[in-house]
Amino acid sequence: MFKPHHTALLKWYATSGRTDLPIRHLKGENAPYEVYVSEIMSQQTQIGVVLDKFYPPFLKAMPTLKDLAQAKLEQVLLLWQGLGYYARAKNLHKSAKICCELHGGELPNDYNALRALPGVGDYTANAILCFGYKQAVGVVDANVARVLLRLFGIDPKSPNLAKLLQVKALEFLNQENPFDHNQALIDLGALVCTPANPACLLCPLQQACKGKHNLTRFSVAKKPPSTPITKHYGVCVQEGFLYLTCAKKGLYAHLHQFPLLKEQEHINLPLLAQVRHSYTKYRLSAKIYQATLADLDPTNLVKIPLQDFKHTPKSSLSLKIMHTLPILNL
């Protein structure tokens, strides 16, 4: 039933898709691991940035899942530096260890076993199965979800929407070439069926699309705008040591950060820089001051030799601050 649409989609992919991305050509036994790393890295970061800056050095340092399992968490976090959302790196590391304990050092080729790994959701599990193990499964990321909603005219408020989209993805799957089919749908969502102003005239699925004349009805509502917040941080260097915070638990566990000032109002310290940073639902304006030890919030305070800072795992905000202040770039 979908054959003509499959053909049109693959034809479009061959001429207009991102077929030159190196991750579209992974082969061999290590492909599931390479897919896994690239998928986790690109969850919150544009694929171009991932492939330019982060994926090659990570794979060079940890070419296999076993290498990752044997690495120290600190090394993994250093390689992740700048990507943000460090829980992803910690989960990747944990999963590698679990795979060595339970699955002979390989990623399992089974949906349930993949989903049991920390940080592996529906999309990542199916991406590993399809792009790594060449299995015929539907792969639904945000781009594909948008295409399917519009193509099949699905109400975005439907109960169990994620499950429904997975069912539709499987129904629409091209069993003869699931790999290219899924990659093509991802690209179609990213390049043509965009959230605002999709280019329906260029779309290979235009004939079949039920939602093209009522895009508002068949689109997921926009995310609410992020909330602006301001926080005040201190840079304190004394006798060659830099004072930072490093929590043992929580979102920023094992990552070094600049400490907040004890006082967040009426600050009378020299302002060194102002850095903008977005995370979760916030747009942070971080004001950075020259501070003494007495000015800093003492929670989880640690000191490290200033010259070690560059090679210490740190949060994305701290990395930005480091790049802004020459004194920290030793």
**CB closer to ligand SF4, 14 vs 327:** 14
CB of 207 to ligand SF4, least distance (A): 8
Annotation marks residue 106 as catalytic: no
- End-to-end CA distance of the chain, in Å? 63
By CB under 6 A, tell whether 209 contacts ligand SF4. Answer: yes
125 by DSSP, 3-state: which? helix
CA angle 51, 56, 57 (to 5 degrees): 130
- Return the number of the residue (99 or 192) whose C-beta is nearest ligand SF4: 192
Tell the smallest beta-carbon distance from residue 143 to ligand SF4 (Å).
11
* Distance of alpha carbon 273 from alpha carbon 193, whole angstroms: 40
Compare residues 173 and 319 and give the one whose CB is closer to ligand SF4.
173
The residues, ordered by sequence, that sit 6+ positions from 165 with a Cβ below 8 Å of its Cβ are 140, 144, 145, 148, 149, 154
Interface of this chain with ligand SF4, residues 189 to 208, rule: CB under 6 A: 192-193, 198, 200, 203, 205-206
Among the listed ranges 133-141, 146-154, 241-249, 288-296, the one in contact with ligand SF4 (CB under 6 A) is 146-154
Dmax over CA atoms of the chain, in Å, equals 74
Give SS3 for 7: helix
Q: Is 151 in the site for ligand SF4 (CB under 6 A)?
A: yes
- Least distance (Å) between residue 213 CB and ligand SF4: 9
Q: Among 143-151, 165-173, 293-301, 302-310, which window interacts with ligand SF4 (CB under 6 A)? A: 143-151
For ligand SF4, how many residues bind (rule: CB under 6 A)?
13
Q: Which one of 32, 132, 178, 211 is in contact with ligand SF4 (CB under 6 A)?
A: 211
Residue 150 touching ligand SF4 (CB under 6 A): yes
DSSP 3-state of 167: helix
Q: Is 101 exposed, middle or buried (0-12, 13-18, 19+ CB in 10 A)?
A: exposed
The Cα 250–Cα 291 span in angstroms is: 26
Q: Does 30 bind ligand SF4 (CB under 6 A)?
A: no
320, 321, 325, 329: CA torsion to nearest 10: -70
Cβ 182 to ligand SF4, closest distance in Å? 15
Using CB atoms within 10 Å of the CB of residue 225, give its burial: 0 to 12 exposed, 13 to 18 middle, 19+ buried: exposed
Tally the residues of the chain.
330
- Does position 147 interact with ligand SF4 (CB under 6 A)? The reply is yes
Write down the least CB distance from residue 195 to ligand SF4, Å. 10
Nearer to ligand SF4, 194 or 230 (CB): 194
Q: Which of 29, 39, 176, 265 is catalytic?
A: 39
By CB under 6 A, residue 212 contacts ligand SF4: yes
Q: How far is the CB of 174 from ligand SF4 (least distance, A)?
A: 16
Specify whether the CB–CB gap between 245 and 302 falls below 8 A. Answer: yes
Which residues are known catalytic residues? 39
Q: What residues make contact with ligand SF4 under the rule CB under 6 A?
A: 147, 150-151, 192-193, 198, 200, 203, 205-206, 209, 211-212
